[in-house]
Amino acid sequence: MPRARKIGYYTAWSIYDRGFAPADVAVERLTHINYAFAKLDGNAIALGDPWADVERPSPGAAYRDGDLRGNLGEFNNDGSAVRQRNPQLRSLISVGGWSWSGGFSAMATSERSRAEFVRSVAAFLHRYRFDGIDIDWEHPVEGGMDGNPHSPDDARNYLLLLRELRQHLDRDAPPPPRFGRYEISIATSAAPSVYRHLNLGAIAQVVDHINIMTYDYAGSWSQTTGHQQNLFRPSAGDSGINGNDTVSDYISRGVPPHKVVLGVGFYGRGFGGVGHQGSPVAGLPGLGCAFSGVPGGTWEAGSFDYKHLRTAHLKPGSGYTVHWDDAAKAPILYNAAERVFITFDDAVAVSWKADYVLQRGLGGIMIWELSQDHEHELLAKISEYLG
Residue 273 lies in a domain: no
Would 199 be classed as within a structural domain? Answer: yes
What's the domain count of the chain?
A: 1
The pTM assigned to this predicted structure is 0.97
For residue 28, tell me if it sits in a domain: yes
Residue 40: which domain range? 5-265+346-386
Q: Is residue 223 part of a domain?
A: yes
Write phi, then psi, for 261 (nearest 5 degrees): -115, 125
Give, in order, the Cα–Cα distances in Å from 125 to each of 87, 131, 163, 373, 383: 18, 7, 17, 28, 28
Per-residue pLDDT of 160-211, as tens digits, reads: 999 999 999 999 999 999 999 999 999 999 999 999 999 999 999 999 999 9
- Give residue 46's pLDDT: 98
Direct distance between the N- and C-terminal alpha carbons of the chain, in angstroms, rounded to an integer: 14
What's the pLDDT tens digit per position in 140-160? 999 999 999 999 999 999 999
SS3 117: helix
The CATH number of whichever domain residue 134 belongs to comes to 3.20.20.80
180: which DSSP letter? S
Flag whether 329 is in a domain. Answer: no
Residue type at 312?
A
CB atoms within 10 A of CB 163: 15
- Averaged pLDDT, 357-361: 98
Identify whether 22 is part of a domain: yes
Residues 6+ apart with CB under 8 A from 332: 227, 284, 286, 287, 322, 323, 325, 341, 342, 343, 344
**Which are the catalytic amino acids?**
138
Q: Per the domain annotation, does 304 fall within a domain?
A: no
Interval 349-353 mean pLDDT: 98
Residue 215, in any domain of the structure: yes
Question: Do residues 325 and 284 make contact, with C-beta atoms less than 8 angstroms apart?
Answer: yes
Residue 250 dihedral angles phi and psi, to the nearest 5°: -60, -45
